[in-house]
């Protein structure tokens, strides 16, 4: 099989911008993109820089953007990665500083974020007197999260990171979940308060892209939702410097309780307050131009709103 690879080449020390360099290769029918990169480096251009290790989809080292999508090069067949033009484009993952060609600086974009969630077990102050035996069922979610090999594909697909690269991101939050789900850990409240600060778990917009991208089936978005549920269950409404989160879901619930559906105008006002709402005027203006902000703004009750309100009251009565 003949294949044309267009590979991103970039050397920050030499200056300039990344360019896509074409290479035409003869490859076996079942060749992977990583096979193609090795062939380029061994036979055509020894200066090409990329990372790879196990070549079996176990290590997550060869995460790249292949034909415009985040994938592992060792698990992607050339035959399935070709674009309509019959080419395979190979680029580094996005939003990460490129060190050379396809090699990225993962320190700030991944490892520092993982370090920030304190990725070590913090046992309860009073250690158990005997060996701490955990039931298999209790450890199952922990084991699932432990399958993460930090490939960064979930961060690559994340919808928030392009706008705010300081967001912890699904990979680091999955690591946080691994310890929060562990019954031996004694720092749950401390961890959840930390994750509740700005750029933590509440910044996820649950687009589910991370779940689509994870090659290990960990479903990082669901793990972030689990973290939020744990926090709400423990009465930790938001981080110390993030009070708008608590206001957001209290307003959300109050508007559904009252009218049977979400009052978006009230939600924005009660979440951000009058002063900060002025900062959202450009967004409101764009929404108005696209016909998404009805003027005059009205929020009538839905039919059956009283019944919805009674459901809320029932749940509230059950609260401890
Ligand atoms: S959660 Fe999945 S996609 Fe994200 S870093 Fe871990 S293995 Fe990769």
Ligand 1 pocket at CB < 6 A: 60, 148-154, 170-171, 174, 213-214, 216, 218, 220
Question: CA 254 to CA 271: how far, in whole Å?
Answer: 12
Instruction: Report the 10 Å Cβ neighbour count for 11.
Output: 14
Percent of the chain with pLDDT over 90: 78
Q: How far is CA 258 from CA 141, 269, 279, 309, in A?
A: 37, 16, 27, 6
Confidence of residue 277 (pLDDT cuts 50, 70, 90): confident
For ligand 1, the distance from its centroid to the CA atom of residue 100, given in whole angstroms, is 23
Ligand 1 centroid–CA 268 distance in Å is 33
Alpha helical stretches, state H, the chain: 33-39, 78-81, 106, 112-116, 136-146, 153-157, 169-180, 188-195, 209-213, 220-233, 243-259, 264-277, 281-289, 305-318
Which residues of the chain form CATH 3.10.20.30?
A: 2-104
Does the pLDDT value for residue 125 go beyond 80?
Answer: no
The model's confidence at residue 255, banded by pLDDT at 50, 70 and 90, is very high
Q: What number of other Cβ atoms are within 10 A of residue 96's Cβ? A: 20
Nearest protein CA to atom 5 of ligand 1, as residue: 150
pTM over 0.85: yes
Which residue's CA is minimally distant from atom 7 of ligand 1?
A: 148
**pLDDT above 80 for 37:** yes
Parts of the chain belonging to CATH 1.10.1060.10 = 106-233
229: its two tokens = 């549920």
C-alpha separations of 140 from 168, 182, 210 in Å: 24, 10, 21
Instruction: Please state the rounded mean pLDDT for residues 28-45.
Output: 97
Q: Lowest-confidence range among 95-99, 195-199, 219-223, 287-291? A: 287-291
| Residue among 155, 176, 214 whose CB has most ligand 1 atoms within 8 A, to mutate | 214
Q: How many CB atoms lie within 10 A of CB 175?
A: 25
Pull the structure tokens for residue 5.
């690879």
Beta bridge partners of 233: none
**Statement: 2-104 belongs to CATH 3.10.20.30:** yes
3-state secondary structure of 23: strand
Atom of ligand 1 nearest to the CA of 150: 5
- Specify the DSSP class assigned to residue 57: S
Q: Among residues of the chain, what percentage have pLDDT more than 70?
A: 98
Dump pLDDT digits (tens) for 291-317: 888 888 888 999 999 999 999 999 989
- Rounded to the nearest whole angstrom, what is the distance from the C-alpha of residue 118 to the centroid of ligand 1? 18
pLDDT tens for each residue of 242-254: 999 999 989 999 9
What topology is assigned to 106-233 in CATH? Fumarate Reductase Iron-sulfur Protein; Chain B, domain 2 (1.10.1060)
């Amino acid at each position: 099989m003949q294949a044309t690879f267009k590979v991103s080449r970039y050397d920050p020390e030499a200056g300039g911008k990344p360019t896509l360099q074409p290479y035409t290769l003869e490859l076996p029918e079942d060749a992977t993109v990583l096979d193609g990169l090795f062939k380029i480096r061994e036979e055509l251009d020894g200066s090409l820089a990329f990372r790879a290790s196990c070549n079996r989809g176990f290590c997550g080292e060869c995460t790249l953007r292949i034909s415009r999508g985040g994938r592992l090069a060792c698990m992607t067949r050339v035959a399935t990665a070709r674009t309509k033009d019959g080419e395979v484009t190979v680029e580094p993952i996005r939003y990460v500083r490129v060190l050379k060609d396809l090699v990225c600086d993962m320190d700030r974009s991944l490892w520092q974020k993982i370090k920030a969630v304190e990725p070590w077990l913090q046992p309860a102050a009073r250690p158990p007197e005997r060996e701490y035996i955990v039931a298999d069922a209790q450890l199952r979610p922990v084991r699932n999260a432990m399958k993460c090999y930090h490939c960064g594909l979930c961060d690559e697909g994340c919808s928030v990171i392009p706008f705010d690269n300081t967001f912890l991101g699904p990979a680091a939050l999955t690591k946080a979940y691994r310890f929060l789900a562990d019954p031996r850990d004694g720092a749950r409240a401390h961890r959840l308060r930390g994750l509740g600060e700005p750029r933590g778990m509440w910044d996820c917009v649950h687009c589910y892209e991370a779940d689509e991208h994870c090659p290990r089936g960990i479903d990082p978005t669901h793990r972030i939702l689990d973290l939020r549920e744990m926090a709400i269950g423990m009465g930790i409404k938001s981080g110390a410097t993030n009070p708008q989160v608590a206001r957001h879901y209290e307003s959300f619930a109050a508007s559904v309780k009252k009218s049977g559906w979400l009052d978006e105008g009230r939600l924005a006002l009660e979440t951000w307050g009058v002063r900060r709402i002025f900062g959202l005027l450009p967004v409101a203006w764009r929404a108005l131009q696209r016909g998404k902000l009805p003027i005059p703004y009205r929020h009538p009750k839905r039919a059956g709103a009283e019944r919805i309100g009674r459901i809320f009251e029932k749940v509230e009565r059950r609260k401890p």
